[in-house]
Homo-oligomer: A and B are copies of this chain.
Amino acid sequence: MNRKEFRDLASPEAAREAIDSLSLEGGIDRVSLEDARGRVLVARLDAELDVPGFDRASLDGYALRARDTFGADEADPARLEVVGAVHAGEEPTIDLEDGQAVEISTGAVMPSGADAMVPVERTDRVEPRSTDSANGDAASETGDDGDEVLIRTSVAPGDNVMFAGADVAAGERALGPGTTITPRDIGLLSALGVDEVPVRAKPRVGIVSTGDELVRPGEALESERGEIYDVNSYTIAAGVEDAGGEAILYPHAGDDQDEMERILREAADDCDLVLSSGSTSASAVDVIYRIIEEQGDLLLHGVSVKPGKPMLVGRLDSSAYVGLPGYPVSAMMVFRTFVAPAIREAAGLPEPKAATVPGTMARSERYGEGRLRLMPVGLVQNGDGETLVYPVDKGSGATTSLAEADGVVTVDPETDYLEAGESVTVDLFSPDVRPPTLLGVGEDDPTVNRLLDGLENPRYLSVGSRPAVRRLREGVPDVAVLAGPIDRDLEADELGRWSREWGLVVRPGNPHELEGLADLVDRDLRFVNRTTDSGLRSTLEAAIDDLAADRGTDRQKLVAAIDGFDLGLRAHESPARKVIAGDADAGLGLRATAERLDLGFVSLGEQPVCVFANADRTAKASVRELAAALEEPPTEH
């Protein structure tokens, strides 16, 4: 085997420096105001006009000369001649003189000669008095409108008038370079009449997934050939867009060097950064390595972090290049730690607000490989409102771990042991991560799934009943769902229980005419079991014991006679699916599953399903909510 070893791993700092040395910036876009939200201004924007552009009435009322109101009050109003009206959007034609007023609407242009206005509430419209005029000779002489107004307050020049430029004056600094445009900034830009702004172009990031075994989601998968769905392309693309970049997906590159080179070059030509990831086979890694080293500029190969060791940093043609590990969890962790900050920087976006949460380790965690560890963790609040932190690790090939995690604890290379109860700081995956309100573990069960749908943001790990008991004892989850024979010694509060019918899931119509467990032992049938972790398996084992007792024989003999007894599948539907696929004649399962999948069912009995709450969590709102939901006994459907 021809393998590249990562002998001299770069430090995380060196990896960061290498990525910082790449230029990812994408230039300048001009975007319309409608598309400006969240974009980053490249240059200072000064006001090119006054806002408002004219002296503007702030209220509905009368424009007038302030000195005509001096001394006026409720008891002794000033009387002015009304010589016209101005509404918003109209050009005033009147030149106001002493003793005159003009009716004016909010937002209208103050007429020439007026220097203040009085709101309508402090005025009364009256008929002119021909004989005695409060304002002397002006009242009854001129005026087509013919009427007058009593002003019951005195105002100073400028009162209730917004002068031109009072809001923003031409030449003022409006928005600085680097401003991330908010709706409020869009308000300011609108007021200034700006309909297009120069913003940082989003860095274009090309994503190339490599590996002959990858299939795009939505397409048909041939599992027997070892095909798997491509997880990295869409996930990294979403991460790129979260970081302010524009993601461009390229066709899968297989492990063929010429094809891979062609695709990488095409991406490099079009993008500011090319990210590859994909096949974890050594051959593919080697191919990319060779292309970058020979055709481009390789700055760094391998970094001392876990997960994420196999990482490339370099340049290809005019583009920056980062090679991510193929395993989805590793790829996302490396992307998040090293690449996303560089994309944000290039996009001009500030580092997201420190979204960190203090917590305490829920259990001890050992790690001693001497690399910086980026440990995905889940969070749960204990009864005291303290945040417990537990590592989420479903193995390096797992694609789904991160969906079950809330953030990351960074463990430095010198720390090889974290004790339970130790304080740690969790970097949330994003500031808007909301840790689950409820953490449940236990049996995989369709009724549980339905119950969870009624809760807000629960997390449920269907680890099976046996591990659930252990985890409940360790004190991490809020609740555990246990099926089958239930341990009496459990120090936990029972929130509720129901029973489910279990048995053998068979092909529609039960073509082999199975009647019970004895058929599996006595006849040549292929069976599919559940794992020993599941409560269903425990109940099956008890039934085997009963059958052995009935027959006066050894249970081992019965078990040995069942083809497939030792093969245990993890989820409640999996055996049924093997029956559908024709890989088995019978599978251990539930009536509910058989009915849902239109299969036959041979009932072997009922088993209880119990929900227990961690004794210190019974006061938690989500636990109380679940308890309330359990008061109406759940029914299978």
Contact A186 B238 (CB under 8 A): yes
Contact present for B107 and A279 (CB under 8 Å): yes
| CB of A54 within 8 Å of the partner chain | yes
Residue numbers in B under 8 Å from A224 (CB-CB): 54, 91, 109
Q: Are A353 and B239 in contact (CB under 8 A)?
A: no
A interface residues (Cβ-Cβ under 8 A, vs B): 1, 3, 33-34, 36-37, 44, 46-47, 49-54, 56, 58, 60, 86-91, 103, 105-109, 120, 125, 162-173, 175-180, 182-196, 211-219, 221-239, 241-242, 249, 279-283, 326, 328, 332, 350, 352-353, 394-400, 402-403, 405, 429-434, 444, 448-449, 452-453, 456-458, 460, 462, 569-574, 576-577, 593
In the complex formed, the residue of B with least CB distance to A573 is: B171
Question: CB < 8 Å: which of B176, B190, B397 contacts A56?
Answer: B397
Whether A228 and B53, one on each chain, are in contact in the complex, defined by CB atoms closer than 8 angstroms, is yes
Q: Are A58 and B169 within 8 A (Cβ)? A: no
Q: Which listed residue (B175, B212, B226, B452) contacts A109, Cβ 8 A?
A: B226
- Taking a contact as CB atoms under 8 Å apart, the answer to whether A234 and B34 are in contact is yes
| B-side contacts of A89, CB under 8 Å | 211-214, 225-227
Within the complex, which residue of B51, B56, B241, B569 is in contact with A37, where a contact is CB–CB below 8 Å?
B241
Closest Cβ–Cβ distance, residue A133 to chain B (whole Å): 23
Q: How far apart sit A460 and B176, CA to CA, in the bound complex (Å)?
A: 10
Contact B397 A167 (CB under 8 A): yes
Residues from chain B with a CB closer than 8 A to the CB of A51 are 228-229, 399-400
Which residue from chain B places its CB closest to the CB of A184 in the assembled complex?
B402
Bound-complex Cα distance A232 to B217 (A): 42
Given contacts A169-B573, A572-B171, whether A183 and B52 have CB atoms under 8 Å apart is no
* Sampled A-B contacts (6; CB under 8 Å): A50-B571, A169-B569, A186-B238, A187-B231, A187-B332, A350-B434
With a cutoff of 8 Å between Cβ atoms, the chain B residues found around residue A395 in the complex are 58, 162, 166-167
CA distance A213 to B109 in the complex (A): 10
Known: A195-B217, A212-B88, A241-B37. A177 touches B226 (CB 8 A): no
Residue on B nearest A448 in the bound complex, by CB: B173
A184 touches which of B211, B221, B235 (Cβ 8 Å)? B235
The 8 closest A-B pairs by CB, nearest first: A171-B573, A169-B571, A195-B218, A53-B223, A89-B213, A89-B212, A183-B238, A187-B235
Contacts of A449 in B (CB 8 A): 44, 46, 173
Given A107-B280, A228-B107, verify A223-B191 contact (CB < 8 Å): no
Residues of B within 8 A of A571 (CB): 47, 50, 165, 169-172
A88 pairs with B577, CB closer than 8 A = no
Contact B456 A178 (CB under 8 A): yes
Contact at A403–B593, with CB atoms within 8 Å?
no
Name A's interface SS. loop
Cβ-defined contact, B58 with A396, below 8 A: yes
Partner of A242, one of B37, B106, B172: B37
Could you say which residues of chain B place their CB within 8 Å of the CB of A444? 169, 171-172
Name the CB-closest residue of B to A335: B183
Task: Provide the residues of chain B in CB contact with A44, threshold 8 Å.
Answer: 449, 452-453
Shortest Cβ distance from residue A526 to the other chain B in the assembled complex, whole angstroms: 15
Q: Which of A33, A86, A395, A433 has the most CB of B within 10 A?
A: A33
| Residues of B with C-beta under 8 A to A282 | 60, 105-106
Given contacts A51-B229, A54-B226, 4 further A-B pairs with CB under 8 A are A106-B326, A172-B462, A180-B432, A183-B236
A574 adjacent to B165 (CB under 8 Å)? yes
Given A167-B397, A176-B458, verify A191-B429 contact (CB < 8 Å).
no
Instruction: Given A184-B235, A224-B54, A226-B56, decide whether A176 and B107 contact each other with a Cβ distance below 8 A.
Output: no
Contact of A229 (CB < 8 Å), options: B179, B191, B223: B191
Bound-state CA distance A402–B167 (Å) is: 12
Closest to A177 in B: B453
With a CB–CB cut-off of 8 A, which chain B residues contact A283?
87, 105
- Would B226 and A574 count as touching, CB distance under 8 A? no
CB of A169 within 8 A of CB of B34, answer no
Shortest Cβ distance from residue A626 to the other chain B in the assembled complex, whole angstroms: 14
Chain B, Cβ-Cβ closest to A436: B176
Chain B residue contacts of A172, Cβ below 8 A = 444, 462, 571, 573
Most chain B CB within 10 A, of A190, A211, A431, is at A190
A402 near B229: Cβ-Cβ < 8 Å: no
Q: Which residue of B lies closest to A37 (CB)?
A: B238
Given that A177-B453, A213-B107, A218-B195 are known contacts, is A183 also in contact with B235, CB under 8 Å in the complex? Answer: yes
